[in-house]
Structure formats: C-alpha cells, structure tokens
Amino acid sequence: MQSNSEVFVGLDTSKLKISVALAEEGRHGEVRFLGDIENSPDVVRRVVVKLSGKYRKLSFCYEAGPTGYGLYRQIRDLGHECSVIAPSLIPKRPGERVKTNRRDAVPLARLARSGALTPVYVPRVEDEAIRDLTRAREDTIRALKDAKFRSRG
C-alpha cells in the first residue's frame, strides 16, 4: 500500500556500503535510520523500488565524494529526484566532529526535507569523459617532462 506522502532519503555513501535514512514530509514527520545496504546497483535498485511502493514521491540526496555520480544517475534513471551535495555546503553544528554513517545520513535527510541543502552540478557522462581525457593528457605531459630532466642529469 502506497502512502500519499513524500519522503526525503539521505544516503551516506562509501565504497562498500550505503547508509540510508529517511525523513517523512512535514515539520513533525518521522526521521529514522533504516540501516546499511551494500553499495551495488542491484541492491540500490531493490531499496528504491521498495521505498517507491510505500511513498508517493522520493527525493534522494547524498554527499559528493570519491564514489562519483553513478548512484545519482541510477536513481534518476529509476524516475526519482536525486541531489549531490558538496560537503562544504552542509550546515553543521559547532562541535559536531564525530563522523559515523548514521550521523551523516540522518541529518542529510532532515536537511533535505527543510530545503537547507544546495546541490552541486552533476556533469554529463560525456563531460566526465572529456575531463578524464584532459587529466590523462596533462599527466602524460608531466611524466614526459620529468623523464627528460632525469635523462639530462
């Protein structure tokens, strides 16, 4: 049975797992930590399908990091909103230094619900390919230059 409500899903991503928290709409909507899931496309798809069966609208967000934009693209392809948030743009309370998956996912969901998060631009796949090619070219030029200086010495 599908609830006639919106839910905001905060994801804390790492290479091996994703911590999932959700905040139901409304000022007094419940905020809860759902747990950790494996960071694989199949598991993510199952969780998204399960949540979409319970709620009318899903809005996902996660902190930008080394895991890239694959999760963003997968969620968008499944037909849901997703935002990638720069870590420096996430409001933090003074003294809030301890980082755990749960402590990162729950505030993300809560802040997404309140509209306090600013998403970053997510490049298209083609843009990322050009960027990677440019970086590889710069690295090759630098390595060639270093090799020339070593051979002269």
Summarised one tens digit per residue, pLDDT across range 7-30 is 999 999 998 999 999 999 888 888
Structural domains counted in the chain: 2
pTM of the predicted structure, to 2 decimals: 0.81
- 39 and 103 both lie in a single domain: yes
Rounded to whole angstroms, the Cα distance separating 4 from 16 reads: 33
Amino acid in position 121: Y
- Assign residue 92 the CATH number of its domain: 3.30.420.140
pLDDT digits (tens, 9 = 90+) for 93-117: 777 666 777 788 999 999 999 999 9
Q: 92 phi and psi, to 5 degrees?
A: -130, 145
Residues 109 and 129 occupy one common structural domain: no
* Shared domain check, 148 and 74: no
Domain membership of residue 130 as a residue range: 123-153
